[in-house]
Amino acid sequence: MSAFTRFHKRIAQELQLLPAAASVSFLTDKEMKRLNSTYRKKPKTTDVLSFPSEQRSRPAGLRSRARSLRGAFLGDIAISPTVARRNAKSFGRTFEQEICILILHGFLHLLGYDHETDHGEMERVEVKIRRKFGLT
């Protein structure tokens, strides 16, 4: 089992979800650029994209939200290892740490968090969990 698979399971457990709640795929920059352009109208590559299985409202609280979705399939997470490697270098993290951060970030989006509109709520939750897992 890869380190990323183990982390995927640990994050699911931390969020009180089943590991099968989300799939994680590693894509090329070309694929990420196409998806980002198609779904977000941003014609460039990106580090992580989340594709929820259904539209979810902003969560009232992480624990209550995760509990209510315990057996649900939340959706898919796509990650660009190329962008993750660049980000890791620029943020002073290992590649493995960066991938784990992106998996967590993707899970939070699948739960309904949106850092572009939530006035820092997603970031606060993410930072708290990152600290718990030693991913600063």
Looking up residue 78, the CATH number of its domain turns out to be: 3.40.390.30
Number of domains in the chain: 1
Return mean pLDDT, the chain.
88
Average pLDDT over residues 88-95: 95
Is the sign of the CA dihedral 46, 47, 52, 57 positive or negative?
Answer: negative
What pLDDT digit, counting tens, does each position of 16-59 carry? 888 888 999 999 999 999 999 999 999 999 999 999 988 776 66
For residue 114, the enclosing domain spans 3-132
> What integer pLDDT is reported at residue 62 of this predicted model?
62
pTM: 0.88
Residue with tokens 């850092």: 115
Distance of CA 16 to the CA centre of its chain: 15
Residue 28 vs residue 1, higher pLDDT: 28
pLDDT at residue 1 above 70?
Answer: no
pLDDT at 4: 78
Q: What is the pLDDT of residue 60?
A: 57
* Distance separating alpha carbons of residues 116 and 114, to the nearest angstrom: 5
Residue 114 pLDDT level (bands cut at 50, 70, 90): confident
